[in-house]
Structure formats: C-alpha cells, structure tokens
A = this chain, B = another copy of it.
Amino acid sequence: MSGSVPPGFDFRRDGAAALEWAARYLEHVGEYPVLARSAPGDVRSRLPATAPDAPEPFADVLRDLDEVLVPALTHWQSPRFFSYFSVTASEPGIVAELLAAALNQVAFIWRASPAATELELHVVDWLRDLLGLPAGWHGHIEDTASTSTLAALVAARHLTGRTAVVFSEHAHSSVEKAARLLGLEPRKLPTDDAYALRPADVEAELARGGVAAVVATVGTTSVTSVDPVAALAGPCADAGAWLHVDAAYAGAAWVCPELRWSQEGVERADSLVVNPHKWMLTPMDCSVVWTRRPDVFREAFTLVPEYLRTSDEAESLSDYGPALGRRFRALKLWTVIRCFGREGLQEHVREGIRLAELFERWVEEADGWGVVAPRRFSLVCFRREGSDEDNLALLEAVNASGEIFITHTRLDGRVALRLAVGNARTTEEDVGRAWDVLRREAAALRA
C-alpha cells in the first residue's frame, strides 16, 4: 500500500463511486432549486467543529456531499442557471480535470513539465487560430480574468512607466481591482447610449497624459456592450498607451465567423483575455491571455532564483504572470477542443445566441415588458413595466421559485433584469420555462 492511499480507500472503487455520483448529479441537476435555499451559516452548523483524528471512509464524504453540501449549492450546471455569465463544465472537460489531478504537474519552468508547458503554448495557439486572432500572438493560461488583466496592466506599467488606467464604467470590476492592487490610478469613464466607451473621451484622457493602459471590453458583464476597439487602437498607439481588450465572455463567440464584427480592431491590441471557462465548455478555471508583446511580459515577470536555474533554453510559463506554480490547465482545454471540434464550439455559441434571440423576441412582443439594451450575444437585459422596486421584487420572486436563477444590473440608473444563456445543457424548453416563471410571478405580484 502506498502512503498516498489512506486506510480503507480504494482508488478504483471510490473513484468509480465519485464518477457515478457525478454522472447522476449531471443527469439530475435540472431538478434542484437553481439558487441555493440556504441561510448564511447553515452549512457550517452541520459540519463537525473539528477535523477527525482517524481516517473516515470516502463513502461518508459522498454522503455529506449529498446531505450537507448539495442543498447549499447554487447549481451552475443547471440548464436554468441564467445568472452572471452562464458557464458549462462539459463532460470531457470534467474527465480531463481528473487526469490533470492524477498527473499533478507543477509547470513553473519548462523542465518541471515539458508536456504541460508545451501543450499550454500549443493549445492557446490552436485557440488563437480558431478565434481568428493574429498569427504570432503569444498566449498562456491564468486562473481567471482578474489575474489575466492584472498581468496585462503590470506589462503596461513596465513598458510605459506610467500610472493611469482608463476604462468604462461598464468594465469588469476586476479592472478597477487590479488597478487598485497595483497602485495605479483608475480613470473610469461614462459610456454612450449603447454602454460603450466614447473614443473622444478616451482621446481626452490620453491627451491629459500619464495613461499606461486603456482597457476596452468586448461584451461587458452588465450588458455585453462592445467598446469601439478599432477607434481606440490608433489613439492608444499614438499616445504610447497599452491597449488591453477584455473579451473574457464574448471572445468565445469569435469561433463563429459571423460574430467577428465584434473583433474589429482587436488585432491592434497589445493584450487580450478570453476565458474558455465561460462560454467554451471548459471547467473553472481557465483564462487565456494573448499578447503581441511577450517580451514585455517576460521583462516584467521574469525572476529566476538559483534553485530554478537550468541550462535549457526553453520558455517557462511563470515568466508571463504573477504565479510561479501552475496546474496543468491546458489538458482540459485540449480535451474540450478535441472532443467538440471547431464545429462543436461553434454550435454551442450559436445555440446560446439562438435561445437568447428567442427570449428577446418574447419579451419584445409581450405587453408590459421591454428589452432595455441592445442584445449583442447571449444576454438579454429587460424590465417589467413598473418601478425598480417592482422589478427587484420580481427578481426575488422568480429566484425564490427555484425554477430559474437570474440576476440584475443597473443601466442609466435603472434596474435591469439579466437573462444570460450560455449553459450547454439549456434547451428551448428551459428558456420557455424561464419566460413562464417570469410572467407567472409578475402576475402574482400584481395581484
């Protein structure tokens, strides 16, 4: 017996039990209340106050998973999860995570894992080409877009020596958070009628000076608006400011040529982030950052202590971001891309958009409902007639039903409800159910 296997544990038996648990969970995930029905502290109150002294059977872990944890999960894998950006851990991606855990690679330098290092470099090249991005861009994988954007801003500061970051009020909170962490000055700009940056405003900031980076978003979190990257690229280049594009969600859409209207100008960016763990069937976490200036990333991040010094000339991925250790995340991305193929990835995006269009039409055609922002991809922002309070009450009611989970945002100061399609398990029936629940609860609130 190996010291990595505790008494009573059997990898084949307990692994098969976990696999069967996962299979049943995914088969039945649509039957749970989507938003957890749990009060703060519920889970902790049901867990022992201290760790066990002696080993416990894995079966007990699975039992407590069912009894204590599942009731307090918000089911991101549910076909009726329409919140934030709806994501999918596809079955091939899940299986690949099992393999990655078994291999337990820690690929901080090439020789520590040539396979993980080269597969990562290779698969992000595959993805770059799938998305129609410029040949030659260098990519690597971080955990989340927060880290990817942080890395880009570090590179921008390193190159320019400047300390301001320009972005829109609809940019993701991670941009402001990264700026704050790095001690950079955030300059948050208002947006136009379509919730996008106005080029003239950005040019004014560039003229004010001190701008290390402009962050443009393709597919903002609130409303999936698209900043005019093409119009920003020239002024950024002229001012010597770094242009970072956050397409964490919407970048996946570029696998479909008909959606590359939203990519215009991105080829002139200095860096770009797209998260395959959002709209590309890959389990958390997997955020890809590409750059046409890998030398600047390397200069900003390389720091090799003696105990990591080797004679080989190969590239090390820790030279491109904040962390030294890194998991074998490329394995799941490789598996997902291969098992779905370009066609499968396209189908997933197109189906998400088709379902969002369907919902959009229902809302537009219904009395007392309205779409409140242009639908760009698979998110619909809408309202029921009435006050903000009415809409927030409706939000609470539909989420309390357990049948769907949606979230809200605020556009021009008014509450907007958000229905984000993106889970690959979502069918037309699920979107229809969402619409039924919304109308039913709205009617109940009015009565």
Contacts and interface: CB of A to CB of B under 8 A. Distances in A.
Interface stretch (A191-199, A233-241, A266-274, A278-286): A278-286
B16 A19 contact: yes
A99 interface: yes
Contacts of A261: none
Contact of A74 (B20, B111, B183): B111
Nearest to A85: B106
Nearest to A407: B307
Interface residues of A, number: 153
Which secondary structure characterizes the binding site on chain A?
Answer: helix
A289 B327 CA distance: 19
Nearest to A301: B177
A41 B110 CA distance: 10
A389 interface: no
B118 A340 contact: no
Interface string A63-107: 001001111111011000001100111111111111111111110
Interface in A279-322: 281, 283-285, 301, 303-308, 312-315, 322
Contact of A183 (B172, B183, B277): B183
B343 A92 contact: no
Contacts of A14: 91-92, 95
Contacts of A136: none
Contacts of A147: 322-323
Interface string A22-55: 1101100000000110101111100100111111
Contacts of A180: 303
B25 A102 contact: yes
Contact of A43 (B93, B101, B114, B130): B114
A6 interface: yes
Interface stretch (A119-127, A367-375, A437-445): A119-127
A61 B335 contact: yes
Contact of A54 (B58, B60, B130, B341): B341
A52 to B, nearest CB: 5
Contacts of A16: 16, 19
B54 A343 contact: yes
Contact of A56 (B69, B96, B339): B339
A342 to B, nearest CB: 5
Interface in A346-394: 347-348, 351
Contact of A6 (B92, B114, B181): B92
Interface in A219-241: 221-222
B77 A102 contact: yes
A410 interface: yes
A115 B11 contact: no
Contact of A284 (B90, B106, B425): B106
A338 B60 contact: yes
Contacts of A92: 6, 9, 14, 58, 61
Shortest beta-carbon contacts, A-B, top 8: A89-B104, A40-B314, A3-B424, A22-B102, A97-B101, A43-B118, A72-B115, A4-B424
30 contacts: A4-B91, A4-B281, A6-B340, A6-B341, A12-B20, A12-B23, A18-B96, A19-B98, A25-B103, A40-B315, A43-B119, A51-B337, A52-B337, A52-B338, A53-B342, A58-B92, A61-B92, A61-B339, A72-B114, A73-B116, A87-B104, A97-B101, A145-B325, A146-B324, A173-B305, A183-B183, A221-B307, A284-B327, A285-B327, A306-B410
